[in-house]
């Protein structure tokens, strides 16, 4: 929640500091709250949109037709594993052309908990009708992991 508030605060600050021109103004700076997206992975690695009020949608998130989902932040926490061991999280983009690993993070298990947060300057793109899935390294379970991605929708252009 803190990272999301920080994201919104940065966007508001940039709105005041930058002129409304250029690529950035056409994406994040002109985004409405309806275009902001937070997803949470379930224990199978599929992502569901977090609705206003905190409830999860009933169906796996799929990028709307004519839109792209620009993922800017990834949060990951896990509560199983062996202390002192490094574990990995991978996010895969699933689309008409197949599956592609788009993001990987490694975190060290401390006493009872580990995790990582990635705030990406440029983010990565999930295209129209695309879905996102998560996998974790051997020795961890998705059931004991909390994974969020945050970003925004923009109009798709080109291929």
- Residue ranges of the chain with pLDDT lower than 50? 1-2, 6-29
Tokens for 130?
Answer: 């695309």
The pLDDT score that the predictor gives to residue 151 is 94
Q: For 65-84, what is each residue's pLDDT tens digit?
A: 999 999 999 999 888 777 78
**155, 115, 119: which is closest to 136 by C-alpha?**
115
Any idea what DSSP says for residue 23? H
Rounded Cα gap, residues 138 and 89, in angstroms: 10
Question: pTM of the predicted model, to two decimals?
Answer: 0.74
For the chain, which domains are there? Answer: 32-155 (2.60.120.40)
Question: How much is the pLDDT for 32?
Answer: 67
27, 28, 95, 99, 124 from 103: Cα distances, Å:
21, 21, 15, 12, 8
């Amino acid at each position: 929640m803190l990272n999301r508030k920080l994201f919104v605060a940065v966007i508001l600050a940039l709105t005041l500091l930058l002129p409304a021109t250029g690529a950035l103004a056409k994406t994040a700076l002109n985004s409405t709250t309806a275009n902001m997206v937070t997803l949470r992975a379930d224990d199978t690695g599929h992502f569901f949109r977090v609705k206003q009020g905190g409830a999860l949608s009933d169906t796996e998130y799929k990028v709307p037709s004519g839109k792209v989902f620009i993922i800017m932040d990834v949060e990951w926490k896990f509560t199983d594993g062996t202390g002192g061991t490094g574990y990995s999280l991978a996010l895969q983009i699933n689309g008409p052309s197949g599956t592609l690993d788009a993001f990987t993070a490694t975190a060290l298990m401390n006493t009872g908990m580990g995790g990582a947060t990635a705030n990406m300057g440029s983010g990565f793109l999930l295209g129209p009708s695309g879905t996102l899935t998560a996998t974790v390294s051997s020795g961890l379970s998705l059931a004991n992991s909390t994974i969020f991605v945050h970003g925004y929708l923009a109009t798709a252009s080109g291929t």
